[in-house]
Structure 1
Amino acid sequence: MVRIKAASPRLISAMGCSLFFAYILSFVFEGQVLYSLLGSFGIETFMYLVIAMAAHLLGLLSCGFFVKSPGVVRHVMVASMGLCAAANAPFFFGPSPLWLVGLIVSGYASGCVVASFGYLLKLLAPKCERLKACADVLIYSSVAMIATNAVAVNISATFGLALSLAGVVLGMVLIWALPVQSMTEEREKADHKRNQDSGIKQPLLLLALFVLVITIDSGLMYQVINPAFGHLAGLASWYWAVPYIAALIAMRNLPSKIRRANALYVGMAMITAAFISFMILGRNALDYLIVDTLMLGACGIFDLFWWSILAEMLDFTDRPVRIFGLGLAANVLGVLAGDVLGRHLVSLKLSDAEVAVVALTIVSVTVAMLPILNRRLVMLLESHAYLMVFGSMSKPQQTAVIAQSPAHDPLTAREQEVLEVLLAGKSTREIAAELFISESTVKTHIRNIYSKYDVRSRAELISTVLKSQIEASS
């Protein structure tokens, strides 16, 4: 334990969470271990998977309401991991109602662990390092999951479950060894002061839509493409994660001068090429390698893309567990939606080519939305970053910044007041309350301000007024 505590807290958290995430990927979240266990008894998997994912979703959404401090984070994570290990004990015996109970408990508890990871990410990784921190967890967990799946498919599903639960126990030890309680009161106060007025509802909702669109395609893939290569179960049980991991490694080590959005376009091209390849190629091992490499490579790019954006959002809030849980909940909903959509397509008894055409159409429509969503999301995040810097300035400095970005037409005295409060990050309702005017009057003033600055949104206004001055002074 002494040696563990001497290691880097970021490394300890990455390894501990990776071991637990590997358990989620191999069991709770459409995992091969769960598939193998249910299949060995001839049990239909869909109901179990939906129940597990619904419980996981509930854990992601509710955990943020009671996890609000470093000490609580560690206790909740360790207790939830222990619950998962205990709840899965019935799976070592024959099928019984306890299997459903165990899935519900482990699904909910695993959601709490994943959401709580958001707190560790904010606490232990600087903003500039969070993409790498997310990549490390996704890579390590995928490698551990490959090993677990291989055991479940080629040796025994029960042995695979035992291996994944051993990872859970080791993850508990590592998380308990984290020195998260050493965070000083000054740091907590500084974080709270900096974050408490930085509402991120709009960018978070936009990111949730972004994640939903991406993961619908992933769920569709599982139900449309994977069954077509069912005769290659041995190869598919481990190779599917290889291009995924390779894409994560490539994204993790991208030179800083390469824009993250460029990777998004590469992923879009790969996922489209995967479905086209699925339509024109056969169903042998080489064809599977081509389709899977394109598909899972794209998934790796997309996953790290939105994970890193979600991680950056943690600086804008003093409730990182709630924010992280909401972002990951969109992922679960997207996978469920894609699963249902894919199952419906398969149930229509169409040929592989016809199913692929329909799936490709859906993918093309959803993928086309990504650049638009990304541009809007980037603008919103930039505007919040500028607001945080602006809020840390003194009143004279704020006045000087606004004065150096004049509107095309002079603002009235009241419009100037509205602009100053707006740049403090206040909502329309809060502006109305502070200036003792109605919300409709505030909206009228804001429309006039937009017109005089020749902008069409609050984010664009913030960027226009603050960007050049803040960047020049930094």
Structure 2
Amino acid sequence: MKNDRHNGILYKNIDNRSLSIIVFSLIFAWILSFPFEGQILYSLTEMFQIEPHRMVFGAIISHFAGLFLCGFFVKNIQAAKKTMFLSILLCILGSFVYFSKPGAPWQLTLILISFIAGICVAAWGFFLKKFTPKNERIKTTADVLIYSNIIMIVLDMATVYISAYVGLSLSIAILALALLFVAKLPTVEANTEHQELPNDTKNAVSITKPLLLLYLFIVIITINSGLMYQVMNPAFSHLEWLTSWYWAIPYIVALYIMRNLSRERNRTYILYIGITMIGFSFITFAILDKSWQSYLVVDTLMLGACGIYDLFWWSILGEMLDFDENPAKVFGIGLSANVLGVLLGGVIGNVINGAGRDISTMLLALGVVCVTFTILPLLHKYLSEILSDHAYLTMVLSTPQEKREMAVKNLIELGGLTEREEEIVELLLAGKTYKTIGSELYISENTVKTHVKKIYSKLNIRNRTELINLMLEQHSAMRKESK
């Protein structure tokens, strides 16, 4: 009875969404601080004068495998909870291995706990889908990334300023807390905060092509993150007093700003700003010295951009969970792209770092930036077709209905559109797919495509994104006239 009363007091003010955020933040903080190129791991290898790269790359490959494979054997939320509980318990036990002297068990254990951690992260997708409503997942993903990085900073500072063993002990305590909270995650809820989409809605929308393109995009852009880990960070290793706490600050600030940005702000342009920031970070890294002032410039540009993009694809993946019965598969495979990009960038960066050529790093990074600029418009097009109301893709739905209708009328007059074309424009701006438009207007999908081509030709635009921007321009012009 006493234990029940104590548990009631501890958890009574925590709703299910907050509980899921706490669980993931604690788990992810441990991953960032230890197995995934964490400060604790590097400090332990430095303490015993061990070359860390083989261990690090083995852990990344293993983590990738865990993320990618989880959805193939974790099929429901009950299995997800059991998997997370067992995973955390095994990670706690595995962490104790590093209090012993280094040897073969270190490498084997790191591979094992990295794989298990990947499974745990992917399995959390069930709880993200269940407890966070559609269009709110951008806030939940921002919260878990912010909180986990704050905890990571605390663990890193304890590791650097006290000892690696203190950092390791605290990280185990973090996992123990996660174990307590994950035990309280409900798997059956009478009044679920988020209801699944009807089956006909799921079947009407295919996410295969957008997900594949998003996967490619994430892999390419996160090559720069791998370069950062293997080239940038070692170059400033002599500034440990600064890097131990400032490293993730720009990332957290960027996440906070993007999380709280008004929906009236067009985040699409911010994505292009983020790509530009990545390019400038590598340029400044190549031309500036390795002083603390240079570090502040390079790290602020790079990690600020990482914050913008991490929230972009984490939240996109979060919204895509509604289109598949197994969220662990979508979430895990999607995030595995991030790990794969870091792995590729790390391998390339390790080679470049050995040669000591900063200019090679800059040229490769700029090449990645150019490819990203090419892919982004196409990615935006496909994602907009299934997630028209996502904060990063469009701000049409934040425009008041009456003003939006007036802006659409101006568009119709501007292009001399027919009545049928007017109907299609309204449905396009509502985010409907060609298939859905066809079913609502009782015409074939090919007929819809023909009408859309004519509409784009009349308005002198190329895609739905430009149609949305044109509508917003009309709305902006109307606001200026009213003033």
TM-score over 0.5 for the alignment? yes
Provide closer, same or farther for how the CA distance between residues 405 and 14 of structure 1 changes in structure 2, counting only shifts above 3 A: same
Name 2:23's counterpart in structure 1.
16
Offset of residue 245 of structure 1: 0.5
Name 2:379's counterpart in structure 1.
374
Write the letter of the residue equivalent to 1:164.
S
The answer to whether the Cα contact below 8 Å between 2:40 and 2:164 also exists between their aligned partners in 1 is yes
Name 1:396's counterpart in structure 2.
none
The answer to whether the Cα contact below 8 Å between 1:270 and 1:295 also exists between their aligned partners in 2 is yes
1:206 counterpart (196, 204, 213): 213
The answer to whether the Cα contact below 8 Å between 1:198 and 1:384 also exists between their aligned partners in 2 is no
Secondary structure of 2:325's counterpart equals coil
Provide closer, same or farther for how the CA distance between residues 420 and 379 of structure 1 changes in structure 2, counting only shifts above 3 A: closer
2:90 counterpart (74, 83, 91): 83
Residues 1:327 and 2:334 are matched in the alignment: yes
Equivalent residue runs for 1:113-132 within 5 Å: 113-132=120-139
Write the letter of the residue equivalent to 2:120.
V
1:364 counterpart (352, 366, 369): 369
Equivalent residue runs for 1:307-346 within 5 Å: 307-346=314-353
Name 1:277's counterpart in structure 2.
284
Name 2:8's counterpart in structure 1.
2
C-alpha distance in structure 2 between counterparts of 1:382 and 1:132, whole Å: 16
The alignment's TM-score, normalised by the length of structure 2, stands at 0.78
The answer to whether the Cα contact below 8 Å between 2:29 and 2:151 also exists between their aligned partners in 1 is yes
Offset of residue 164 of structure 1: 0.8
Equivalent residue runs for 1:451-462 within 5 Å: 451=450, 454=453
C-alpha distance in structure 1 between counterparts of 2:151 and 2:192, whole Å: 37
The answer to whether the Cα contact below 8 Å between 2:132 and 2:193 also exists between their aligned partners in 1 is no
C-alpha distance in structure 2 between counterparts of 1:453 and 1:136, whole Å: 39
The answer to whether the Cα contact below 8 Å between 2:126 and 2:327 also exists between their aligned partners in 1 is yes
> Over aligned residues, Cα RMSD in angstroms?
3.1
- The runs of 5 or more residues in structure 1 that have no matched partner are 386-403, 408-418, 425-444, 469-474
C-alpha distance in structure 2 between counterparts of 1:306 and 1:198, whole Å: 19
1:151 counterpart (158, 171, 192): 158
Name 2:308's counterpart in structure 1.
301
C-alpha distance in structure 1 between counterparts of 2:180 and 2:233, whole Å: 36
Deviations 1:362-420 (A, max 9, x none): 343234235324323333424899xxxxxxxxxxxxxxxxxx8479xxxxxxxxxxx97
Offset of residue 49 of structure 1: 1.1
C-alpha distance in structure 2 between counterparts of 1:195 and 1:181, whole Å: 22
Secondary structure of 1:88's counterpart equals helix
C-alpha distance in structure 2 between counterparts of 1:281 and 1:265, whole Å: 24
Residues 1:355 and 2:360 are matched in the alignment: yes
Give the percent of matched residue pairs that are identical in Structure 1 and Structure 2: 41
Equivalent residue runs for 1:86-235 within 5 Å: 86-183=93-190, 192=199, 194-196=201-203, 198-235=205-242
C-alpha distance in structure 2 between counterparts of 1:362 and 1:183, whole Å: 52
C-alpha distance in structure 1 between counterparts of 2:21 and 2:64, whole Å: 22
The answer to whether the Cα contact below 8 Å between 1:196 and 1:318 also exists between their aligned partners in 2 is no
Write the letter of the residue equivalent to 1:53.
I
Name 1:256's counterpart in structure 2.
263
Deviations 1:210-234 (A, max 9, x none): 2112211111122222222121122
Deviations 1:178-202 (A, max 9, x none): 2232256998786556435543111
The answer to whether the Cα contact below 8 Å between 2:349 and 2:361 also exists between their aligned partners in 1 is no
C-alpha distance in structure 2 between counterparts of 1:232 and 1:421, whole Å: 56
The answer to whether the Cα contact below 8 Å between 1:224 and 1:342 also exists between their aligned partners in 2 is yes
The answer to whether the Cα contact below 8 Å between 1:146 and 1:237 also exists between their aligned partners in 2 is yes
Deviates more, 1:107-116 or 1:184-193: 184-193
C-alpha distance in structure 2 between counterparts of 1:81 and 1:192, whole Å: 34
Write the letter of the residue equivalent to 2:18.
L
C-alpha distance in structure 2 between counterparts of 1:334 and 1:25, whole Å: 16
Deviates more, 1:183-192 or 1:328-337: 183-192
Write the letter of the residue equivalent to 1:13.
S
The alignment's TM-score, normalised by the length of structure 1, stands at 0.79
- The runs of 5 or more residues in structure 2 that have no matched partner are 1-6, 391-418, 423-433, 457-461, 472-483
